Amino acid sequence: QVQLVESGGGSVQAGGSLRLSCEAFGSTYYYNCMGWFRQAPGKEREGVAAITTSGVNTYYGTSVKGRFTISQDNAKNTVYLQMNSLKPEDTAMYYCAAGRCMGYSSLGRTHDYNYWGQGTQVTVSS
């Protein structure tokens, strides 16, 4: 019922910036939060940032606080992830997700999201 299309990944040197975009197609009835998750080779998928569609709550993973910013344009059904001061350890496949989150504590949990994009690769070189 919801399709997510990511864009904006790429390769950048450490200290650089990238902005990821995720456009949602389908009814907003099916989700009240959108988030970005990432998965590096050999590691579990982890929550990077998330936001409720109301804009009231945002979540950031510990390792990205102060460097990444999530925002949304509800008129375009699009969520953005501005990534600054990128580090080699930020290298991963980044996935956009949408779901029905139950409170702030669920924003960063993968199992609260049931719609996922295909992913976009972010590579940061030292």
pLDDT means per 10 residues, the chain with 126 residues, are: 95 98 93 97 96 94 97 95 98 97 89 96 97
Residue type, 57: N
**Confidence at residue 104, expressed as pLDDT on a 0 to 100 scale:** 83
**Confidence at residue 98, expressed as pLDDT on a 0 to 100 scale:** 97
**Confidence at residue 123, expressed as pLDDT on a 0 to 100 scale:** 98
Measured from the Cβ of residue 110, the count of other Cβ atoms closer than 10 Å reads 16
**Confidence at residue 28, expressed as pLDDT on a 0 to 100 scale:** 86
**Confidence at residue 5, expressed as pLDDT on a 0 to 100 scale:** 96
Residues 113, 118, 120, CA angle at the centre, nearest 5°?
110
**Confidence at residue 52, expressed as pLDDT on a 0 to 100 scale:** 95
Extract the tokens encoding 62: 């510990």
The answer for 10, left when phi > 0, alpha when psi is -120 to 50, beta otherwise, is left
